[in-house]
Amino acid sequence: MYAYTGKILHVDMTTQAKRVQQVEPEFYKLYLGGVGLASRLAYDNVTPGADPLGPDNALCFACSAFAGTTVPVGTKHGVASKSPLTGFIGDSLSGSHWSEMMRRAGWDGLVFKGQSPHWVIVFIDDDDVRFLDATPYMGMGAVEVQGKLRDRLGDENIRISAIGPAGENLVRFASIDNDGRQVGRTGNGAVMGSKRIKAIAVRGTKPVRVADRQGLMEKSLPLIKTTQGPGTLKYRTLGTPANVLNMNAIGVLPTRNFSETVFEHAETISGEYLRDHFRVKAVSCSGCSIACEQWGVVRDGKYKGAKIGLDYEPLFAVGSNCGIGTLPPIIKLVEMADELGMDAMSAGVVISWAMECYEKGLLTKEDTGGLELNFGNDDAAVAVMEMMAHREGLGDMLAEGVKRASEKLGKGSEHFAMHSKGMELPGYDVRSLKTFAMGLAVGTRGPCHNRSLAYELDIKGVFDRFTAEPGRGPLVVENENFACVLDCLVLCKFLRNCFDDFNTEVAELYTMTTGIELTPEELAEVGDRVCNLKKAFNIREGWTRADDSLPPRAMQDPIPSGPAKGSFVSQEELDLLIDDYYQARGWTEEGMIPRAKLIELGLGDIADEIGEDAVVADAAV
């Protein structure tokens, strides 16, 4: 086996004991790497029923197949644990240079279990693992601490994954930052904080050897050139903020806590406006020939000096969704979220919920500590962002995420708590995207636009986005499986339009890199396998069909105005969509995985481990 070493490092944070697990090539054929590998490690190492913020949870990192090679746009890494937001699988991805560095240190995966008695920095120096006292670094920002640690360790080649104050304070949607990119969703930063790991520093000095170096480089060059073409134009020029005006035009841009879908200030928070007034340059992750991250800098006014690589999802969350209609406070808020170490998407949706509560009188000035928390009040949003990370005042309740916060507050605020399974919704109002509604409701890690790309089917008009009818399941499943294959390799989704025959071309790249024989069919099957693996994780944690849901607002409040006026997802429609999806997956009506299905997918050990009764309702195959 090439590129991969077959070695997984296990660290027990309670005792600081380490153990090396040797993994066979067959394992990589089943899970590829990234999210697949991380999810399997989580399945095998998270104690069933574990408290997500307790010692029995396991925080698992996995590198990508192509990290450190010339195959472009393939450098992300996967992270998985039991999510403190959802109580189900929390798998996440991040870019930058971490994946390459893990690989060069000789580790395909890292598993952290237990709970350190005091705060530490874990320093993985090739084969060596050391624990440094984290006291001098406590309270530091997630980005700031990386520079400080590099200085102390005296080597700028060291790469670091770190948490900010939010992770230290167990904010349930805390993120892990690596070189300014984040393991953002599902709260892996809180899991890291619960283990009292402030940062993981890695220095890898080993070369990356691939099976066919010459062949791989010959295949890489045309792919690098293709990534400068039309298939990635959007990402290279405007980046994902291009979505703002597109989503606004068709009436799906979440506005003021998902109450409206057209934002009157969309123009001044758009990707075009960002490019014309704030953009400095585009920046890429290691080995990425696209460079999607559009860095914007605020040059004057009260947010002068704020700068960030801005993406659509954080932009919508703290922008239109909080009623904030100019870019400087948005750039500031996202920069704060990154430095404080919180998922800006969840943070924005939590703030917008609190704003609606305030406007409805469910939260008062007393509750907010004197803040006038109306929609559009950026000063208040900035204050709340800080309060959440430090769990001060109202921030303590908000740090629990919108599901728990609304359950605590009550007073009908659950109606507009915009989450599914406990994770806050992404930036597409599903009331008029009914195929995507299916994809979001069934998401194993909660509602996610990166796991289900079904919004494309709605927006491109493959299906009528205003209606729900049976028969969409197979395409939604196919599309989710494809996204999953990308997440396992890892190849960034922005590369997805750069192939003529994806499975054939990528299977070949995988073999040239790892030396593991992989047919195009075997590559494609990984998607179905890993989606089922993640579902099995959830079933083991007590998942039932009732968990596949949408928030009441999406199902009861018709869109008030704009191109999608009047649209909502009724319970009948959602039931129909979910039935359709389960059927396409080959699951039972209750959404359980038949034993035979698991065996067919090569997950026989899981079927055996969990036992027929737990996983399989009445094997409906």
Partner 1 sequence: MTITQIAYEHVICDPAECTGCRICEYVCSANKHNVFDANLSRIRVVRIEPVTMTAITCRLCADAPCILACPRDALTRSEENGIILVDDTKCDGCGWCVEACDFGAIVLNPSSRLAEICDLCADNEDGPQCVVYCPKEALSLATPEVLRQKSRRKVVQRLFEELMDNE
User: Which residue has 């992300």 as its token pair?
Assistant: 76
Binding mask 103-132 for partner 1 (x = CB under 8 A): -x----------------------------
Q: Of these, 70, 92, 320, 450, which contacts partner 1 (CB under 8 A)?
A: 70
Question: What 3-state DSSP class applies to 386?
Answer: helix
- Determine if 275 is a binding residue for partner 1 (CB under 8 A): no
Identify which range of 22-30, 224-232, 263-271, 514-522 contacts partner 1 by CB under 8 A: 224-232
Cβ atoms of 602 and 588 within 8 Å: the answer is no
Q: Which of 19, 130, 277, 281 binds partner 1 (CB under 8 A)?
A: 281
Q: What are phi and psi of 417, to 5 degrees?
A: -85, 105
Told to check if 549 binds partner 1 by CB under 8 A, we report no
Candidate segments 240-248, 275-283, 414-422, 523-531, binder of partner 1 by CB under 8 A: 275-283
Beta-bridged to residue 275, according to DSSP, are none
Element (H, E) at 82: strand 77-82
Q: Which listed residue (14, 15, 47, 205) binds partner 1 by CB under 8 A?
A: 205
207 touches partner 1 by CB under 8 A:
yes
DSSP string across 136-155: GGTT--TTHHHHHHHHHHT-
Structure tokens at 465: 């986005």
CB of 535 to partner 1, least distance (A): 35
In the complex, least distance from residue 209 CB atom to partner 1, rounded to whole angstroms: 5
CA 86 – CA 423 distance, rounded (Å): 6
Cβ atoms within 10 Å, residue 207: 7
| Owner of token pair 């025959």 | 501
For position 78 contacting partner 1 by CB under 8 A, the verdict is no
Q: Are 429 and 261 in contact (CB under 8 A)?
A: yes
Beta-strand pair 419-420/59-62: unpaired
Using CB under 8 A as the binding rule, whether residue 567 contacts partner 1 is answered as: no
In this structure, what token pair is assigned to residue 187?
């709260």
**Between residues 33 and 87, which has the closer beta carbon with respect to partner 1?**
33
Q: Which is nearer to partner 1, 180 or 446 (CB)?
A: 180
Each residue of 69-100: b (16+ CB within 10 Å) or e?
bbbbbbbbbbbbbbbbbbbbbbbbbbbbbbbb
Residues in 292-331 that interact with partner 1 by CB under 8 A: 295, 297, 307, 309
Q: Within positions 149 to 168, which residues make up the interface with partner 1, using CB under 8 A? A: 157
Q: Which of 55, 2, 61, 70 has the alpha carbon at shortest distance from 33? A: 61
Residue 291 as a binder of partner 1 (CB under 8 A): the answer is yes
The answer to whether 581 and 468 have CB atoms below 8 angstroms apart is no
Residues facing 50 on adjacent strands: none
The window from 167-175, 252-260, 283-291, 448-456 that contacts partner 1 (CB under 8 A) reads 283-291
Q: How many residues does the chain have?
A: 621
Can you tell me the distance from the alpha carbon of 521 to that of 433, in angstroms, rounded to the nearest whole number? 31
Phi, psi for residue 322 in degrees, rounded to 5: -100, 10
Positions 85 through 104 that interact with partner 1 (CB under 8 A): 97, 104
Q: Closer CB to partner 1, residue 143 or residue 373?
A: 143
Identify which range of 110-118, 193-201, 276-284, 483-491 contacts partner 1 by CB under 8 A: 276-284
Element (H, E) at 405: helix 401-409
Q: What is d(CA 151, CA 198) in angstroms, rounded to the nearest whole number?
A: 16
Cα separation, 435 vs 468, in Å, equals 7
Q: Which of 17, 20, 280, 621 binds partner 1 (CB under 8 A)?
A: 280
Smallest gap from Cβ 290 to partner 1, in A, equals: 8
148 touches partner 1 by CB under 8 A: no
Span of 8-16, 47-55, 210-218, 587-595 interacting with partner 1 by CB under 8 A: 210-218
The label of the residue with tokens 């109202």 reads 394
Cβ at position 66, least distance to partner 1 in Å = 10
Binding status of residue 213 toward partner 1 by CB under 8 A: yes
Tell me the closest approach of the beta carbon of residue 206 to partner 1, in angstroms.
Answer: 8
According to the binding rule CB under 8 A, does residue 224 interact with partner 1? yes
Residue 77 or 256: which CB sits closer to partner 1? Answer: 77
The only residue of 289, 377, 435, 549 in contact with partner 1, by rule CB under 8 A = 289
- Of 182-190, 215-223, 326-334, 596-604: span binding partner 1 (CB under 8 A): 215-223
C-beta of 526: minimal distance to partner 1 in Å? 24
Tell me which stretch binds partner 1 (CB under 8 A): 77-85, 203-211, 422-430, 523-531. 203-211
Q: Which stretch binds partner 1 (CB under 8 A): 82-90, 265-273, 285-293, 346-354?
A: 285-293
DSSP 400-466: THHHHHHHHH-TTGGGG--EETTEEP-SS-GGG-HHHHHHHHT-BTBS-TTT--THHHHHTTSS-TT
Q: Which of residues 19-58 bind partner 1 (CB under 8 A)?
A: none
Among 209, 277, 360, 411, binds partner 1 (CB under 8 A): 209
Q: Which residues pair with 176 in a beta bridge?
A: 183
Q: Identity (one letter) of the amino acid at 156?
A: E
First CA to last CA distance, the chain:
37
User: Quick check: 109 and 4 in contact, CB under 8 A?
Assistant: no
Among 211, 283, 524, 555, binds partner 1 (CB under 8 A): 283
Burial of residue 301, with CB atoms counted within 10 A of its CB: 0-12 exposed, 13-18 middle, 19 or more buried:
exposed
User: 490 preceded by cis ω (within 30°)?
Assistant: yes
Residue number, 260 or 339, with CB nearest to partner 1: 339
Choose one: 81-89, 213-221, 435-443, 521-529; the region binding partner 1 (CB under 8 A).
213-221
CB of 281 to partner 1, least distance (A): 5
What is the CA 410 to chain-centroid distance, rounded? 28
- DSSP at 253: -
What's the CA gap between 263 and 254, in Å, rounded?
Answer: 8
C-beta of 221: minimal distance to partner 1 in Å?
Answer: 6
Q: Rule CB under 8 A: say whether 68 interacts with partner 1.
A: yes
Binding site for partner 1 (CB under 8 A): 68-70, 72, 97, 104, 157, 180, 205-210, 213, 217, 220-221, 224-225, 227-228, 280-291, 295, 297, 307, 309
